[in-house]
Structure formats: structure tokens, C-alpha cells
Chain A
């Protein structure tokens, strides 16, 4: 009845892997250190989308919107000196060593507000219509970033000069920032894990599986989807804040449709409704982009091939994503008493 042994072992393996990552990364070269950090940043984005796509069954093609508003908010409050009060407040918080908290709170509140508003517009739609509405809402954000140049610097993007320090510890160099990112990542993973194991998280799976039955069991379907949408948007915002701090630059291409689509690929490739799977997806897609793009100009073709192979193998074995395939091959005889249906 209580969480079983297999689940405990899985948690142990996942935590062990991240401890190992934390131990190994300082010995990698700068390029790799930065790649690992980037994978974690996009890992949070992919996990947050997994809450919608994997657990609730809502395919959003606009998840970069909340990533985008949070990353732009971060850049703007750190650099816009003529917006006196936000900038002064940031300076003041930073002088107390709380600059990062200020940025995160501000960025996440903005992401939450947008997710609450956009979710209100989108949640009533289902299937392809939901996809189209989320896509178009995300395009609005992209359009704002591109055209509202008084605030966003339009095409040029915003350069951020340096990261705020955390309790007096400088995060300017790669390693401290990597550990900071890892800590934020693990907090997000932990929170999302608790979320999907909670009674509320289980209702989302029920909605994914059979909406009309959930309605007849007394659930207000709309409310559950709406809250899930907002929560996923806030975690997407965490990823966006980290992105600006990591990259120290944000411009419209960072938040366009490609980013939303890539997040969907990460989830589908790694394994939906697993949380860790999308992180593996993030690792694959980001690594491919960094490595192969040096040698092969059309690297998305290789990504496409990997994607197709994974999906086809998954179909063949009745599982989803790389994590599903991994589980299948690790214990091929793991079906001692599967009854014939």
C-alpha cells in the first residue's frame, strides 16, 4: 500500500545520478560544464511541460511563453535603469545579497500571471484547438519581445551584465553557477515529484485517461486543468529565469515557436509522464545541438532520425520514450504474471 520498493530504488538511482553529475562536472572542460548547466535549465522546462503533456494529456505548443516572459522579466529588471523603482529595488535587494530571490520572485509572479490569463483562454479547448490556442498565445509573447523594442530592445535582445551573488557567493564563474542551477533543478524535481504523487496529481492522470468519468465522479475538470496549467507555467518560468542568468543574454529567437516545439520533443523523446525522461530528452537534444552542429549543418535531421527510431521502437515494445525502452531492455523478463487481456 505504501510506496513500494521499486519506487524507492528508482528515487535512489535518480538522486545517485545527480550526485554523480555534481561530482564529475568540476573536472570537465568549460564547454562541457556550460553544456551540463544548459541541459539542466532546459530539463526544468521539459519537466514542467511533462506535467501538462505527460500527466494531464494537454499538448501545449506554447510552453515557451512563460519561459519567455520570465527570462525577459529577469533581463529587464536587471538592466532597465530608467524604470526607476524596479531597478532601484533590484539594486537594494542585491546589496543585501538577496538579488537572486528578488529576480526569482518577480520573474515567477509574472510567469504565473501570464499562465493564469492564457490558461483561462486556452483550457476550454481540447486537442488540436488547445494546441492552436497555446501556439498563438505564445506567438503574442514572441511578437511583444520582437516589436516592443522600448522595453525588450527588439531584435537586438538584452545583454545582462553579470549575475547577482547568492549570500555573498559569486556565481559569475561556471562552477558555482552550475551548482546553483543543480540545486534549483533538484528543488523543482522534488516539488514536481511530490506534485504528481499527490491526490491532485492523480486526478490529472484520471483526466488524461477519461475525462467524462472524472466529471461524473465529482471533479471540476476545468479547475484541475487550469491549476495544472498555471503550475506548469510557473515551473517553466523558473527555467526562463535561469536561462537569462545562464546565458546573460535574451533575444526573441530564444522564446520562439522552436523552443516550445523542442520542449515537446524532449518530453516525447525521453518518456512522457516520467519527469526524469524529459530531462534525458533535454540532454540528448541540447548535446546534439552543441556537438553535431559543429560538424553537420543540418543537425535537426539527425535529431529527427533519433526521434523516429525511438517512437518506432516504442510502438514495437508498447512503451513510450527512451526511459520506457530502457526499462524494457533492462529486465526483459519482467512480466511474471501479466494476464492475457
Chain B
């Protein structure tokens, strides 16, 4: 099964909170450059699954491999250092810092200079250049001196992703990037996600079906912590079981 393309691999991943089986025996493979979606109603265990993958929560049982390495017991920052990044469902930026300061913190996250204590940050030209490139790519450079709390919700959702991209991840976990966006903004978000470097493998949690079908090629459907169905997007769209529990509940 193993080959050079291996990005993220979950093997019988399980998480119980006491009697609550939040995630039950989930198997999932995300190859390098692949885009995969996770679909499921509220409380299906999608965000918990992300917490397990990133190491914020410990596994009850199972195994997580990242680029072929077993990282099941690793702390978050070590997993991130391997080349993984994640965004949050509830915007999780540094609200009182400026846009540039936010991105600078993200850029220095995986660099050794983050431990330097007696040389000012502004002397690190390469860090600034990287931040400038990231912000210019999304047309945010003119916002660099704005405090993040003054940005619109849509801009904040996009900055969430910019911070995650700052470390040049090979595996990117996106937790509902279009949460709280209006329909038009959701489409922009989908376009933005499609424009990302195709070399980045993406695992996308999304409630907005338009976004998820547009961005990913494969979908896993979670229901009460278990994988209910898995396959190419079109198959999932037409799967009667999936339609019943998820698509059938149209708003």
C-alpha cells in the first residue's frame, strides 16, 4: 500500500470521550497533491478528527502517519514541523496585531530564528520578504498595517488560510473555510482554494456543498463519528444513504 506519494494516513483512528464515541474507526488516505473533502452533519466528529490529526487531542486508539512516519504520539508543533498546517472553523487570528504582524508570526513559526532573543525581528529581511509575498499574492498588502480585528469577516477567513500557507505545508487541513460567508463570498473562497498550489494536499471540512464539490475530487462522509461512505465526489452526490442523512436535509 505504501508508496512515495504518501501524505496523511489514518488507520482505525478512534476517539472516545467517556461513553461518547466521537470518532470511531476512521480510515483515510490523503496522497500528496490530492484534494479530499469530509462531509457530515453537525456533531459528526469532523473537527474532533482534525484535533486528532494535529495532536491537540490524544487518540484513544489507532494510528496516524504523516509522510510515512508514525506521528500518533507526537506533540502538535512537531507534526506541524513535518509539513502540516491547519485553519480553524472559528477564526483564530491575533486580533490586536496588524495583518503584517500576524503573517510574520506565521512565517517565523518553522524557522530557527524564532528563538533569537537579542536581535530585532525587523532585521530579518527574508522573513519580511516572505510575508510580503504571501500578502501580495492575496492582494492584502495594502491592509498590512490594519489591526486584524478591523478586517471584514471574509478577509479574516482568507487570512486564516494565508497564515496556514506561510510554512509552505504539504498537507493542509481546512476546517470550514467558508463558515459564516455569504453566497458570493463562498464562491470567491472556492476559487481561492482552487488557485492554491496543486502540490499541496488538502483535507477540507465544509458545510457549503457548492464549495466542497467544486474543490475536492474525493469525499468521505462522517456520521456519528463513523465513515458512512467514501468515494469520488459524483458517487457521493448520488449515494442514496448520503442523500438521506445529509443532502436530503436541504435548508
Contact = CB atoms under 8 A, between A and B. Distances in A.
Interface of A: 1-3, 191, 194-195, 197-203, 205-206, 209-210, 212-221, 231, 338-341
5 contacts: A1-B122, A202-B104, A214-B109, A339-B150, A341-B147
Given A198-B118, A201-B117, A203-B114, A220 B75 contact: yes
Contacts of B113: 199
A151 B135 CA distance: 60
Contacts of A216: 54, 76, 80, 85-86, 88, 164
Nearest to A205: B97
Given A209-B94, A213-B92, A338-B150, A219 B120 contact: no
B118 A202 contact: no
B182 interface: no
Nearest to A191: B118
Determine which residue in A194, A210, A215, A218 has the highest number of CB atoms from chain B within 10 A of its CB, and name it: A218
B192 interface: no
Contact of B97 (A2, A199, A209, A340): A209
Given A199-B113, A199-B121, A218 B167 contact: yes
A214 to B, nearest CB: 7
Contact of A218 (B80, B96, B97, B122): B80
Given A1-B128, A199-B124, A341-B149, A213 B116 contact: no
Contact of B109 (A3, A200, A217, A339): A217
A218 B150 contact: no
Contacts of A199: 108, 113-116, 119, 121, 124, 127
Contacts of A215: 56, 76-77, 80
Interface in B159-174: 163-164, 166-167
A272 to B, nearest CB: 12
Contacts, number: 107
Contacts of B231: none
Contacts of A210: 92-95
A210 B80 CA distance: 17
B140 to A, nearest CB: 14
A203 B104 CA distance: 10
A213 B163 contact: yes
Contacts of B121: 197-199, 201-202
Contacts of A201: 117, 121
B196 interface: no
A199 B115 CA distance: 7
Contacts of B106: 217
A341 B150 contact: yes
Given A199-B127, A217-B167, 5 more contacts: A198-B118, A209-B97, A216-B86, A217-B80, A218-B80
Nearest to B97: A209
A338 B124 CA distance: 28
A313 to B, nearest CB: 20
B118 A195 contact: yes
Nearest to A2: B122
Interface in B139-157: 146-147, 149-151
A14 B164 CA distance: 38
B81 interface: yes
Nearest to B87: A216
A339 B115 CA distance: 34
Given A3-B120, A339-B150, A202 B105 contact: yes
Contact of A213 (B94, B110, B115): B94
A307 to B, nearest CB: 23
Q: Which of B56, B97, B120 has the most CB of A within 10 A?
A: B120
Interface string B124-137: 10011000000000
Contacts of A340: 150
B101 interface: yes
A325 to B, nearest CB: 18
Given A198-B116, A202-B105, A218 B56 contact: no
B105 A203 contact: yes
A326 to B, nearest CB: 19
A220 B77 CA distance: 6
Interface string B72-85: 00011100110001
A3 B122 contact: yes
B120 A217 contact: no
Give the residue among B76, B110, B149 with the most A Cβ atoms within 10 A: B76
A214 B77 CA distance: 9
Given A215-B76, A216-B80, A206 B120 contact: no
Tell which of A3, A198, A199 has the most Cβ of chain B within 10 Å. Answer: A199
